Amino acid sequence: MLLHLTTWPEVEAYLERSRGIVIPIGSTEQHGPTGVIGTDAICAEAIARGVGDATEALVAPTINVGMALHHTSFPGTISLRPSTLMLVVRDYLTSLTKAGFTHFFFINGHGGNIATLKAAFAETYTAIAELNLPHGDRVRCRLSNWFTCHRVYQLAKELYGSQEGSHATPSEIALTQYLYAEAIKDAPLDPQVASGYPIYGPADFRRHYPDGRMGSNPALARPEHGQKFYELAVKELTEAYREFLKAD
Amino acid sequence: MLLHLTTWPEVEAYLERSRGIVIPIGSTEQHGPTGVIGTDAICAEAIARGVGDATEALVAPTINVGMALHHTSFPGTISLRPSTLMLVVRDYLTSLTKAGFTHFFFINGHGGNIATLKAAFAETYTAIAELNLPHGDRVRCRLSNWFTCHRVYQLAKELYGSQEGSHATPSEIALTQYLYAEAIKDAPLDPQVASGYPIYGPADFRRHYPDGRMGSNPALARPEHGQKFYELAVKELTEAYREFLKAD
Amino acid sequence: MLLHLTTWPEVEAYLERSRGIVIPIGSTEQHGPTGVIGTDAICAEAIARGVGDATEALVAPTINVGMALHHTSFPGTISLRPSTLMLVVRDYLTSLTKAGFTHFFFINGHGGNIATLKAAFAETYTAIAELNLPHGDRVRCRLSNWFTCHRVYQLAKELYGSQEGSHATPSEIALTQYLYAEAIKDAPLDPQVASGYPIYGPADFRRHYPDGRMGSNPALARPEHGQKFYELAVKELTEAYREFLKAD
Amino acid sequence: MLLHLTTWPEVEAYLERSRGIVIPIGSTEQHGPTGVIGTDAICAEAIARGVGDATEALVAPTINVGMALHHTSFPGTISLRPSTLMLVVRDYLTSLTKAGFTHFFFINGHGGNIATLKAAFAETYTAIAELNLPHGDRVRCRLSNWFTCHRVYQLAKELYGSQEGSHATPSEIALTQYLYAEAIKDAPLDPQVASGYPIYGPADFRRHYPDGRMGSNPALARPEHGQKFYELAVKELTEAYREFLKAD
Amino acid sequence: MLLHLTTWPEVEAYLERSRGIVIPIGSTEQHGPTGVIGTDAICAEAIARGVGDATEALVAPTINVGMALHHTSFPGTISLRPSTLMLVVRDYLTSLTKAGFTHFFFINGHGGNIATLKAAFAETYTAIAELNLPHGDRVRCRLSNWFTCHRVYQLAKELYGSQEGSHATPSEIALTQYLYAEAIKDAPLDPQVASGYPIYGPADFRRHYPDGRMGSNPALARPEHGQKFYELAVKELTEAYREFLKAD
Amino acid sequence: MLLHLTTWPEVEAYLERSRGIVIPIGSTEQHGPTGVIGTDAICAEAIARGVGDATEALVAPTINVGMALHHTSFPGTISLRPSTLMLVVRDYLTSLTKAGFTHFFFINGHGGNIATLKAAFAETYTAIAELNLPHGDRVRCRLSNWFTCHRVYQLAKELYGSQEGSHATPSEIALTQYLYAEAIKDAPLDPQVASGYPIYGPADFRRHYPDGRMGSNPALARPEHGQKFYELAVKELTEAYREFLKAD
C-alpha cells in the first residue's frame, strides 16, 4: 500500500487497524564508474515496497536525498547536511504522529544516513513529547539497513568475498541491475581499487578514492544476484517489521 | 536523462555541454476523497521526465514532500515546514553548484510550494554567493508550475469550467489516472463542495473544507484528459526550459 | 490607533471589542536614482495608518526592513534573509496571540516580501497551534499589497501606462512625494530603462538593472498623484479589513 | 540624513566621506498605565535623528521591536526572541558591510536589548569575518543607551530622585511627552509601586509588577523635562559618535 | 554535592528538600603570557564547589567553554558562538526543569559570558513556559560573577590598584595559582600593557592587545592572594545563593 | 598537557610540532542506583589525560554534557539535543582549526554520543571547508570509545560475562571507583534487571528500565578492576592516537 497512491479516507481506515508505516530512505550520490547515482534510494524503495506488499503496511514516499556530504566532490551527488536531514525526519514524524501513526520503520539504503537518522530519532522523540500529542510518548522509530540483513550479508560474502567492498558494492549494483535492466552500465574499472581509508571530508574522500569505489568490484554484479538480494532482504525485513509492531 | 539512473562520469560529461538541471517538486497531501496523496509529486515527476526526454536535460530526484502544512489535519499528509523546505532547497543547490550546475529549473506540482520556493531561491542566491564558488554568482532558479501552463489552464477550463476548483482538481486527478490506471479511485463525492475560503491553519482548513476538496469536482476526470494535460505541459515546459538556458 | 502611542490598559480595553490588528510592512532598499530607500515602508505605513483611522483598528509598528536580498548590490539597501523575516513574523504573531489577538492584517509595500510572508504565515499557524494557546487555532493572517489594489492599479495604468514598470514605479514615488515633499529628488534618468529580466541574485540584478529601476519612469510621479493613490488604497483596504474581521 | 529618505546614489556618495551609520533601536512594550508602548523606540529614534542632524551621519530605520519577552504578559507588547534579534542585527550589518559601512553606532532606548545586542555583535564580528569581505575585519559596533548618558542620568536624579525607578520612568515618559504632546496619557497611578524584584519570565514579571511600572512615578514627567533630556542626550551622543569614528 | 558524583536516587531525594542548583560557567581562552587558558573555568568551578559545600547545594558540571569569540585569534582559545551557548543553556535548563529544578544559580568566571547568558535566560524562560511543565513558570536564573563580588573587587583594588586591569588580571591568576600550584607560569611580561580599547572582533582584539592582557600585570599574583579571593567569593556567593532560594 | 593549564604561547609552540588534540566527551546522565551521574565524563576525561601524558598531546576540556535525551526521565540527567551538540562540536573545531589544529581525536565515554558526533563531524567538514581556512580541507576527526577498546571489552567479558550489560555497566562503575574512591555508592540492586528493550524516548526508557540499568550488575565493580580498565584503555588509545596522526 503506497501512501502516494492512497486517498486520505483510505489512510484513515488503515489507521484503525495499524499505527505503523514503512519509510524508505536512500541517497543520491556517486556509486563509482558503473553504479547509478540513485542506487541507495532505488534499493531502499524497492525493498520497502516489497515489505509493504508482504505486510499490508503503508509505505511512505522515499527520502531519496540523504546524508552524502563526503561524496560531494563527485558531480551528481546531492546531499542534505545532517542538520537538514534531522529537520526533514522531524517534520515527517510530526506530520504522521499528529495523524495517529506511532511506529516508523525506516528501510535504509545508505550507511552514511545511519548516524544522522539515529540523532534525528533522539531529537524527535523529545520534540514530539513536548507537543503533548495523544500518542506522542508512544512514538518509535526503527532503522533497518537492507544491506546488513543477515542473509543478505552472507550471500554477498559468498558471491563476492572481499570484492564486496564497502561502497559501490556489487550487491547493491546487482540489485539496481535487477530493478532497472535498462540502466546497467559498462565502464572500465581499474583492477586496483582503494580501500581502508577512513572517511573525512569531501576533498579528502576523492583524494583517497579517486573513482568513487571503496574496495569494491562492481563488475561482479549480475541482475540475478540482485533478485536474490531483493528476496532475502524483503523476507528478513518483513519479519522485522512484524516484530517491531508487536513489541511493547 | 534521470540523475538517479546516471553514473558520476556521465554527469561529468553532461556538465561539459550543459549547466542546467530539471528538479521536480510535488507534495504528499490529501487530495479529496478520490485523489491520491501523491498527486502533486506524481504529476511533477512525470512532466519533468517528459521535459528531460525532450531536451536531453538531467532530471533530479523528485522532492516528493513539500509544504502542505494546511493539509495536515487530514491523515496521510506529510509536510515539511517552510523553514525546512528552504534548507532542503539550499542543500540541493549548494551540492549541485559545487559540481558546476548553475541553472535550476523546478517543475512544481503544488501551489502551496510556490511561496516557500521563492523565499528559498532568494535565500540561496545570497548563501551561495557567500561561498565564493567558481560560478556562484551565475546561479539561477526558475519555478514552473505545470498547472499554470497556458494551454493546460485553457484545456481545464474547456473541460471542467468552474468545476475545476483549486484543489483536488479534475485536471490533476486526470493526470494521475493517465499515469496510474491502477490507482483510479471511486468514492462518493458530495455534490456540494466548499469553495472560496481563504487558507489559514490546518484546523481551520479542515473545518471549511471537510472532505479536502476546494471547489472541485474530480469525478469529471478521465485518463484520456490526463494524457492531453501531460502532453500540453511537457510541450510548454520544454520550450520554457530551452528559453531559460539561453537567456543571459 | 497607533500601538506605539497606546498604553497597555488601552490595548486591554481594545481587545474587548476587537481581535484584529493592522501590521504595515515595507522594505529598505534602493528605488532607482530618484526614489528614496524607504519608499516601501513609507507607503505601507501611511496607508496602514489611514486604514487604522478609518476602522479604529490598532496599527502595529512598521516592519521597515523586509526581504530585499536582490537589491543588496546597491548601497543603502538593508535586507533580512527570508529565514530571519519568517522568525520576525513568528515572534510578532506569537507575542500578539498570547495577548488575545487573532486577526493579523498585513499591509505590504514591497513585492519581494510576498513569498516570505506567505511562507511565514504557514509556518506560524502550525507553530502557534502547537503552543496550545486559548485562541491559537483561530489565528489568521491576511496579506494586502497596496499597489495591487484594484483602483490603485487602474489609476497607475491610466497615468503612466507601460512606464509604470515594476520597481521604482512612478506610483510609489508619487506616494512618497505626497507624504514627504521635502524628499522629492531630482536626478538624471536614462530614457532607456532595462526591463523584462527575471530576478535572480544581487549581482545579477545589478548587472541587468544598472540604475535600479525596472522598466519604470519615476519622472512622471507627482505629489498630487500620490494623494490619489493614498486615498484609493486606504479606501479599498479599509473595506478589505472590515471583510477580514467579519468572515469566519 | 535619514536613510529612508535618501537615494542609493546619495548613499554611494556618502560612503566616500564616511563609513559610519547610526542605528536607533527601541522596543514595543508596556510602559505602565500612562507610558506609551512605543516609548523606547520613540526616544531612540528621536535622539538618533538629532545625532544624525548634528553630525551629518546617516540614520538607519529604527529597529522598533526589540527584546521584551519579560513584558509579554501585558497586552500590546511585541517581542523578538533574543535569537531572532541576533539574526536581525546580523542581517542589518551584513547588508551594510557589503556596501562598505564599517562603523555601526546603535542608539538604544531599552535596557532589555543590551545583552542581546552585545551577544549579536560578538556573533556578527565572526560571521562577517568569515565572509571575507573587503572591510570585514574592520567592522565595529558601539552600543549607546540614551538613558545612561551621564548628563541625562544626573538630570533624572535631580528631577525625580528615587521616583525615577527603572521602567516606565518619568524621564522616558517626559521625552515621549515632548515628542508626542497628543499622546500624553492620564490614568490613576497607585502611589505604592513595586520595585526591587529581579526580572525572570513574563508571568513572574506581571505577578511582581502588576501595573507594569518598576519603582517609577511617571506622573512626575513633564514635556519640558523631555526637551532637556532630548538635548542632553543628543549632545552627549553626538560627541560619542564623533569619538567612535575617530578611534582606531 | 557534586552532581557528577551523585546517583539519580540521591538527586531525587535532594529535590524533596531543594529545587536549586549551582552551575559554574567559565571559558577556555587565552589569559596572556602567564595565565592558563582554563582560568575562567577553574575559578568558577572551585568557587561553585565551595558554595556547594557551604550550602549543601548540588553543583552541576562546569560549562567550561563559553563565549570567547574575541579571543579566537590566540591559539588555544575555544569559543561557542553566542547562539550556540544560548542553546546549551536552554538544554541544561530544560533537562533540569523537567526533573523539578527551578532555581538556577550560575557562578560565572568570564565577563564575556554575561551578555549571552542574560539573553539565554530570557529566551529560556519563554521557551520553558511554552512547554507547559509543572513548575515551568517558576524557573529563575541568577548570574553571579565571582570577580564582581564586592569584597573580591575591594581586595583586588587594594592589592593591585590599576594593575588589576580587565583581562588576565592578577586576581584571577592568583586564584588559579592557589588552586593549581603546579601550573604557575613564568614568562616575560612587557611592562607596557595595552588598555582602554573597546572589544570588537578577534583580529581587532589581537591587533590592540598583542599579548592578550588588557591593562593587567599578572606578575603581581600570588597563591596566597588566590586563597583570599577564593574565601571571599565563596562567602559572598554563599549568602547570595541562600537569598536567591528564599526570595519569592 | 592539559589545555586548560596551558598558556597561549605554549599552545603556539605546541602547534609547531603537532596539529593534533585529544577531546574527551562524556555525558551527565543517570547510571542506575549506584553509578554516579558523571560516570561517562569521568571515564573519558581520565583516559584522555592518560593518553595525553603518554603522547604529549594537548587535551581539551571535557565536553561533560552530551546526548542523553533518553535518560531525561531520571532526575539529574542533563542532555544537549543532538542539534545543539552538533553546534558545540562545530564551534570547538572551528575555533581550533582557525588556530592551526587539524587532527581531532575524540575519546568518548557514552554510546549515546556516537551517532550525533558522527553527524557533527560530517556537517563540520563541509562547514569548515566552506570557510576557506588554510588547512580547512585537512581537518580530520576520529571517534574512539574507551569501552569498545578490544582489550577493555575482553576484560569486561572475563570479569562480568553477561552481567556487564549495556548501561551502568560494572566496567564503567569500576573505573569511577578507581578514580573517585570517595564516591563509591551502596544501594540495593534488584537482582532482576531489565534488558533487551530498544531505546526510544525518555518516558519509554524509564518504563522499561525502571532503575536505569540496562542488563547490568554494577555490584560486581571493584576499584582494582577500574585501574586495569584504565590502563588497558590508555594503552590502546595511545596507539590509536599515534596511528591517527601518522596516517595521510
Whether D37 and C7 lie within 8 Å, measured CB to CB: yes
Confidence check: pLDDT of D248 > 80: no
pLDDT the model gives residue A212: 98
The whole-angstrom distance between A232's CA and the closest CA on chain B is 24
Cell numbers at residue F40, please? 561517562
**D219-to-B65, D19, D31, D39, F137 alpha-carbon distances in Å:** 58, 42, 12, 15, 64
- Does residue F134 sit in helix, strand or coil? coil
| pLDDT confidence tier of residue F175, bands split at 50, 70 and 90 | very high
**Residue F110, pLDDT score:** 98
pLDDT for E85: 98
| Helix runs in D161-216, H state only | 170-179, 202-208
| Chain-chain contact of E204 with D138 (C-beta, under 8 angstroms) | yes
Interface test with A, best of B6, B95, B211 (most A CBs within 10 A): B95
Question: D88, C80: Cβ pair inside 8 Å?
Answer: yes
* Contact yes or no for D82 and E123 at CB 8 A: yes
pLDDT band at C247 (very low <50, low <70, confident <90, very high): confident
Determine the residue among A91, A94, A98, A124 to mutate to test chain B binding: the one whose Cβ has the most chain B Cβ atoms within 10 Å: A91
Locate the chain F residue with the closest alpha carbon to E59: F76
D139-176 pLDDT, tens digit each: 999 999 999 999 999 999 999 999 999 999 999 999 99
CB-CB under 8 Å, A119 with F82: yes
Contacts across the C-D interface (CB distance below 8 Å): 182
Alpha carbon E200 to its chain's center: 21
Nearest-CA distance E10 → chain F (Å): 9
CA distances to B137, C74, C194, C214, D14 from C206, rounded to whole Å, are 12, 8, 11, 11, 20
pLDDT in tens, A193-225: 999 999 999 999 999 999 999 999 999 999 999
Share of chain A above pLDDT 70, in %: 100
DSSP calls for C96-136: HHHHT--EEEEEE--GGGHHHHHHHHHHHHHHHHTTT-TTG
pLDDT one-digit tens code per residue, C55-85 = 999 999 999 999 999 999 999 999 999 999 9
Q: pLDDT, tens digit, for every residue of F66-93?
A: 999 999 999 999 999 999 999 999 999 9
pLDDT of E103 above 90: yes
The nearest CA of chain A is from the CA of B211 a distance in Å of 9
Mean pLDDT of all residues belonging to chain B: 97
Q: Which residue has the cell 479599498?
A: C236
Position F188 pLDDT exceeds 80: yes
The pLDDT of residue B247 is: 82
Cα distance between residue E41 and residue E33, in whole Å = 18
The nearest CA of chain A is from the CA of F133 a distance in Å of 14
List phi, psi (to 5°) of C175. -65, -40
Determine whether the interchain pair A91/B80 forms a contact, defined as Cβ–Cβ distance below 8 Å.
Answer: yes
Q: pLDDT tens, F20-73?
A: 999 999 999 999 999 999 999 999 999 999 999 999 999 999 999 999 999 999
What pLDDT does residue D154 have? Answer: 98
pLDDT at F248 exceeding the cut of 80: no
Chain C residues with beta carbon closer than 8 angstroms to that of B204: 125, 137-138, 140
Q: Report the distance separating Cα E70 and Cα E79, nearest Å.
A: 9
Do C72 and B126 count as a contact with CB atoms less than 8 A apart? yes
> Mind listing the pLDDT tens digit for each residue in D195-239?
999 999 999 999 999 999 999 999 999 999 999 999 999 999 999
Q: Taking an 8 Å Cβ-Cβ cutoff, which residues of chain F contact chain A?
A: 67, 69-70, 72, 81-83, 86, 112, 114-123, 125-126, 128-129, 137-142, 198, 200-204, 247
pLDDT in tens, E144-199: 999 999 999 999 999 999 999 999 999 999 999 999 999 999 999 999 999 999 99
Burial B98-131 (b: 16+ CB within 10 A, else e): bbbbbbbbbbbbbbbbbbbbbbbbbbbbbbbbbe
Selecting from D3, D32, D90 the residue whose C-beta is nearest the C-beta of C76 gives: D3
Pick from C137, C145, C209, C241 the residue to mutate for testing the B interface (most B CBs within 10 Å): C137
Chain D residues whose beta carbon lies within 8 Å of the beta carbon of residue C116: none
Is the pTM higher than 0.95? The answer reads: yes
Using CB atoms, list chains with 3+ pairs below 8 Å to chain C.
Answer: B, D
Q: Give which of A134, A99, A93, C140 is closest to B72, Cα–Cα.
A: A99
Q: What is the pLDDT of residue E204?
A: 96
Query: What is the phi-psi region of residue D100: left when phi exceeds 0, alpha when psi lies from -120 to 50, beta otherwise?
Result: left
F247, closest residue in chain A (CA to CA)? A197
Residue owning grid cell 563509482: A32
The 8-class DSSP code of residue A5 comes to G
* Closest chain F C-alpha to A16 CA, distance in angstroms: 23
To the nearest whole number, what is the mean pLDDT of chain E?
Answer: 97
Closest Cα of chain E to F92: distance in Å?
6
Residue of chain C nearest D59, judged by CA positions: C76
The reported pLDDT for the residue numbered E248 is 76
Mean pLDDT rounded to a whole number for chain A: 97
Give the residue from C96, C110, C139, C100 showing the smallest Cα distance to C45.
C110
What residues contact A207, with CB distance under 8 A and at least 6 apart?
none
- Cβ separation of E83 and D83 shorter than 8 Å? yes
Share above pLDDT 90 across residues of chain E, in percent, rounded to a whole number: 98
Question: Which stretches does DSSP call E strand in E125-225?
Answer: 140-145
Grid cell digits, residue A222: 549480475
B69 to C122: CB separation less than 8 angstroms, yes or no: yes
Round the average pLDDT of chain C to a whole number and report it: 97
- Cβ contact (<8 Å) for B30 and A7? yes
Dihedral angle, C-alpha C124, C127, C128, C130, nearest 10 °:
160
For residue B118, the chain C residues in CB contact (below 8 A) are 115-116
Q: Average pLDDT, stretch F5-26?
A: 98
* Cα A88 from Cα A102, distance rounded (Å): 17
Half-sphere exposure of C212 (CA within 13 A, CB side): 24
Nearest Cα of chain D lies from the Cα of E236 at a distance, in angstroms, of 18
Residue ranges of chain B whose pLDDT lies below 70: none
pLDDT at F247: 82
Chain E residues touching residue F10 (CB < 8 angstroms): 76
Place of cell 515602508: C41
Of the candidates D72, D75, D77, the beta carbon closest to that of C100 is on D75
**How many angstroms separate the CA atoms of A111 and A109, rounded?**
7
